[in-house]
Chain A
């Protein structure tokens, strides 16, 4: 059973599963609170979308743009960062935008994907060891951007359950399961069923 259908069944309390009593799992899940779409006013959404989708592009699974990661980044900048972290992040974004326009003659989001990838790869190499601190709150600009893209993508429905494997209620335990060809990593696992940022 795929993760989506299992989840849908969980909501109705109809999962059989191998563990006895899983039918009791039908406690209603409260509706998710809407995440503030605070991008309005900043005007950064096209650039953020291009950045996260270059870091995590569509392949045989959706990329970060389709997974809505730009909205996640905006939410984190608006509601998770301290004011000084937010100001530094937005200054970094503006500086990145201006530099790309100056050197390449176009905004980052208007460049072809291959060129965008080159720009970020060169920037990642240049940033190596430049500013201390743990992203996404600290560190050099691209490291913070990369961390936000990764956290946002692999906790999105597409990233967690299509790109990787997600089974919220495995129902059984195999300590040393033999990986089959093509089998992917899990998006939540022992010690990481709870996510923490540095």
Chain B
């Protein structure tokens, strides 16, 4: 039975769910925000923040035996460590299956704020070039939108969250509304000059980051402590807690329900609308049905697919909004793994002060407009940074005694690290479905993931490694070491697709406003909506698409169309 009715229900409180809650409440809707995990209070629930190494039981290195047992997947994620482990799920308690012979690491944060608490903060716009690339090379289906549709919403999002970066005038990486960038250090400036002069057409720019270089919208400028993913009580990087949640709460129209799993969404074949969500209280096991006029799914890419597939009914026997059969198909992740580290001689008189929360970026230079200059389709960029080696290098030296201390008292040599980030081809063989046999502790079907990289990605990864080496050598690196292996899908934390947007209801799940083709009051605005997976980090796009969809939904709701 329906216990109460809201204008809108938002499922999930991470990066996109927080934005949905903010935009919908600000447009006048009474919103219920449902989060399957626990409450994390801003500032008060960041136990790792500003801790010194000796204040951790394992000095920051972490409880290896515990992590191997309970966090075998999560520990592979970038931000996972002793100061942030509390923001990652326990893999034993939250199982999923991977098709034998394939690999997929599902990184998750089940709490208010989701992964907005420990995300990497890189914030780049997609370009018209990206939105038209499926159509151009024939892989995947055409995006139903272009840059002009999203550009004003990128502006809207950037103005609110604060993105530090520099305007560069690069067509394939549009400029935005930026706060001043965090400056490059001397080795990065040096490498930038060398790379840009030796490789015409390549650029090395400041990584654009959702961290404040100045006070902004009542939030404080970054204080340069370093490990952002432990939480930031000054709200200096974008998280649900620092940004969208307080804005939504300020309207007086937000209700938050934590520790509540959405098992499914109810559909009324008469009105052809979704009517309610069915929930399970994860602590006491009680079930409830809660009604709303509008439902936004922001449960994270795989979480949203799970809800859709688990919401089968007579009208949608293969899963809600799944007449196309596209739900769960075409799972993507940014290709990552190849990493190049160059060691430099000189510049010994400099040492950065402060732990800059961002780095440098080399935008995509392969297969740009009108060119085919590689043995693979699409392209990649690099995130990276220059820094001086720490005392940890002592483990590799042979010194013992006073000589060891003297050696490590000096800053180590400068190094520059480049990590490739590539665009995979859309691939319908990468699938998420419900496991036919296994369930979780609440009796819900587990997910079964099948994900493989293809030869195109393998060739791209080799080029990432080769070009990274060539650029660091050109910049004068005296030693270069390279990792060439591709990481399993999911480990870039950019899993996306599976409820893609498209023109045609026969091959896509959502229209150009993130609205289910067959169900006008159902919106999906997390990563599952993505039709391709460009090499730029995607979260800023999820935010912009969410704000745009919320605007469309509220306009339609107020016009009586929903």
Interface on A for B, CB 8 Å cutoff?
7, 10, 17, 19-22, 24-25, 27, 29-30, 32-33, 35, 54-57, 59, 61, 72, 75, 79-80, 82, 117, 120-121, 124-125, 128, 135, 146-147, 150-152, 154-157, 160-161, 163-164, 166, 168-179, 183-197
Determine whether the beta carbon of B215 is less than 8 Å from that of A160. Answer: no
Q: Could you say which residues of chain A place their CB within 8 Å of the CB of B53?
A: 155-156, 160, 187-188, 195
B385 close to chain A: CB less than 8 A: yes
Determine whether the beta carbon of A179 is less than 8 Å from that of B220. Answer: no
Which residue of A35, A121, A128, A192 is within 8 Å of B390 (Cβ)?
Answer: A192
Q: Is the interface of B mostly helix, strand, loop or mixed?
A: loop
Interface flags for B454-480 (1: CB within 8 Å of A; 0: not) read 000000000000000000000000000
Given the known inter-chain contacts A120-B400, A124-B400, A192-B392, please indicate yes or no for A168 contacting B57, CB distance below 8 A.
no
Given the known inter-chain contacts A154-B391, A157-B52, please indicate yes or no for A173 contacting B405, CB distance below 8 A.
no
**Least Cβ distance of B113 to chain A in Å?**
16
Q: Output the nearest chain A residue to B186 by Cβ-Cβ distance.
A: A176
Determine whether the beta carbon of A185 is less than 8 Å from that of B65. Answer: no
6 contacts between A and B (CB under 8 A): A21-B219, A79-B58, A80-B58, A175-B352, A177-B351, A190-B385
Which residue of A19, A56, A147 is within 8 Å of B223 (Cβ)?
Answer: A19
The stretch that binds A, out of B95-103, B154-162, B330-338, B410-418, is: B410-418
Q: Output the nearest chain B residue to A67 by Cβ-Cβ distance.
A: B54
A118 to B358, CA, bound (A): 45
B280 close to chain A: CB less than 8 A: no
Which of A33, A157, A188 has the most C-beta atoms of chain B within 10 angstroms of its own C-beta? A188
Given the known inter-chain contacts A187-B391, A191-B385, please indicate yes or no for A169 contacting B223, CB distance below 8 A.
yes
Q: Could you say which residues of chain B place their CB within 8 Å of the CB of A188?
A: 53, 226, 355, 390
A145 to B392, CA, bound (A): 14
**Least Cβ distance of B223 to chain A in Å?**
4
Q: Could you say which residues of chain B place their CB within 8 Å of the CB of A170?
A: 223-225, 353-355
Given the known inter-chain contacts A54-B400, A173-B182, please indicate yes or no for A185 contacting B410, CB distance below 8 A.
yes
Determine whether the beta carbon of B391 is less than 8 Å from that of A185. Answer: yes
Q: Output the nearest chain A residue to B225 by Cβ-Cβ distance.
A: A169
Interface flags for B35-50 (1: CB within 8 Å of A; 0: not) read 0000000011011011
Determine whether the beta carbon of A24 is less than 8 Å from that of B409. Answer: no
Q: Is the interface of A mostly helix, strand, loop or mixed?
A: loop
Determine whether the beta carbon of B184 is less than 8 Å from that of A24. Answer: no
Determine whether the beta carbon of A173 is less than 8 Å from that of B353. Answer: yes
Q: Output the nearest chain A residue to B228 by Cβ-Cβ distance.
A: A193
Determine whether the beta carbon of A135 is less than 8 Å from that of B55. Answer: no
Q: Could you say which residues of chain B place their CB within 8 Å of the CB of A161?
A: 52
A59 to B50, CA, bound (A): 29
Q: Could you say which residues of chain A place their CB within 8 Å of the CB of B352?
A: 173-177, 189-190
Interface flags for B164-196 (1: CB within 8 Å of A; 0: not) read 000000000000000000111110100000000
Which residue of B223, B353, B356, B402 is within 8 Å of A177 (Cβ)?
Answer: B353
Determine whether the beta carbon of B221 is less than 8 Å from that of A20. Answer: yes
Q: Output the nearest chain B residue to A82 by Cβ-Cβ distance.
A: B65
Given the known inter-chain contacts A173-B182, A189-B355, A189-B387, please indicate yes or no for A117 contacting B400, CB distance below 8 A.
yes
A135 to B52, CA, bound (A): 23
Determine whether the beta carbon of B43 is less than 8 Å from that of A24. Answer: yes
Which residue of A55, A124, A166, A176 is within 8 Å of B185 (Cβ)?
Answer: A176
Q: Could you say which residues of chain A place their CB within 8 Å of the CB of B1?
A: none
Determine whether the beta carbon of B51 is less than 8 Å from that of A29. Answer: yes
Determine whether the beta carbon of B351 is less than 8 Å from that of A186. Answer: yes
Q: Output the nearest chain A residue to B64 by Cβ-Cβ distance.
A: A80
B227 close to chain A: CB less than 8 A: yes
Determine whether the beta carbon of A154 is less than 8 Å from that of B408. Answer: yes
Supplied contacts A179-B349, A192-B387, 4 more A-B pairs, CB within 8 Å: A22-B234, A154-B391, A186-B411, A194-B226
